[in-house]
Structure 1
Amino acid sequence: MKDSQFEHKALKVLKTFLLDLLLVTDGRTTDFLEVLLNEKLKVQVIRQEQINEADAKLFGESSGAPYYIRESVLIGERSGFVVSHNIAMVYAKHVPPALFESIAHQKYGIGNAISSLGMRSFRKVTDSGYVNEEESVDLFQQPIRLHFSDLHEKVPYKRYDLYFGSKPGIEMLEYYHPSIIEHRLLQEISKEQSSN
């Protein structure tokens, strides 16, 4: 086998391994993405709005408490590379008030807000896999347009619930840019070439 064939196959195996880890982890996904990208991430909120009671009933909830839908992307602070496209359903009555306030002000990603407030939470992965871009949907199963550039392959996704008590307070659906590994490798190669 030629070296270039071996390198291509090794890259494919490594990429699959790292993306599969991302899909099964129930830890802080943002931390894992920052390690993969080798830079801090910032959140850009695309939309955040209160949803009506009828939509909340689709999730088995109906209490009169506010429910918010939040759509955002996580972007590398230096590179501007969009690593994830996220949709969250926030159930106000099952989220600690300080966290709900932080989310409402849209300054932080949800994971960073939880971490900065020192809150204990439990995550339960409910679904994960790979979809074609045109198959991507939101939490209401409505089609969405992912904010990723240059997609040429299936997009990894993970759906999970965040618990702060006995009931889930936040339901998350995250899509990850499938080229995050290649992006990091190109950064490293460029850095190595510029230092020579």
Structure 2
Amino acid sequence: MVDSQFERKASDVLQRILLDLLLVTDGRTTDLLELIMNEKVRVEVIRQEQITEDANIMGEFSGGPYYVRESVLIGEKSGFVVSHNIALIYSTHVPPALFENIAHRQQGIGKVMSSLGIRSLRDVADSGFIIGEDAIDLFKKPIKIRFPDLHHPIPYKRYFMYFGRKPGIQMLEYYHPDLLAHRLQQEFKQE
């Protein structure tokens, strides 16, 4: 009984460490998610549209056009939903090649940037844990996170991506709180 209690506590500690890393990293989060999952992830765009409302939620400038993109990252082999993401894209502050690829909706933003060799400065503005019912988008409107059977608080991170002096993309990422448990289950199935 002591061993199983120790193993459960160790699993909880490892889960917390990995989630903490996701919340503070200012690098490509997709790389870390693929490492945790031990598989590639693919993007599924839920919605992507130009918005006409004043999207001056970055606080320092206005003008557009603005685009909002909501997507999920899904494990290619497992089908596990890894993250639920909302991006607000300020098209005039994003490199044209990146914007063109985002408009085609085929890849995640991080993967496009990597394939094009585009670098950015990332500034984490907020992170933490919420319960599913409290999830909001970048406009502070409630959203339904696409994680089934949630039993734990959801880790999230909101950050800005700079390609120059002004932010070009604001990202809000919600991560599945059971990433480590899922990975461990996959490992045990292979044994």
Q: Same fold (TM over 0.5)?
A: yes
Task: Measure the CA separation in 1 of the matches of 2:56 and 2:101.
Answer: 25
Task: Measure the CA separation in 1 of the matches of 2:151 and 2:8.
Answer: 16
Q: Unaligned stretches of 5+ in structure 1?
A: none
| Equivalence map 1:12-91=2 (5 Å) | 12-54=12-54, 56-60=55-59, 61-63=61-63, 65-91=64-90
Alignment check: 8 A CA contact 1:85 1:175 kept: yes
Deviation, structure 1 residue 58: 3.8
- TM-score between the two structures when normalised by the length of structure 1: 0.95
Deviation, structure 1 residue 149: 1.1
Over the matched positions of the two proteins, sequence identity in percent amounts to 65
1:43-97: per-residue Cα shift (whole Å, max 9, x none)? 000000111143x13443322x310000000000000000000000000010000
Task: Measure the CA separation in 2 of the matches of 1:52 and 1:20.
Answer: 36
Structure 1 residue aligned with 2:150? 151
Number of equivalent positions? 190
CA RMSD of aligned residues (A): 1.0
Structure 2 residue aligned with 1:113? 112
Deviation, structure 1 residue 114: 0.5
Q: Letter of the aligned partner of 1:43 in structure 2?
A: V
Structure 2 residue aligned with 1:138? 137
Q: Unaligned stretches of 5+ in structure 2?
A: none
1:113-142: per-residue Cα shift (whole Å, max 9, x none)? 110100111111000000000010000000
Task: Measure the CA separation in 2 of the matches of 1:13 and 1:107.
Answer: 36
Task: Measure the CA separation in 1 of the matches of 2:38 and 2:92.
Answer: 36
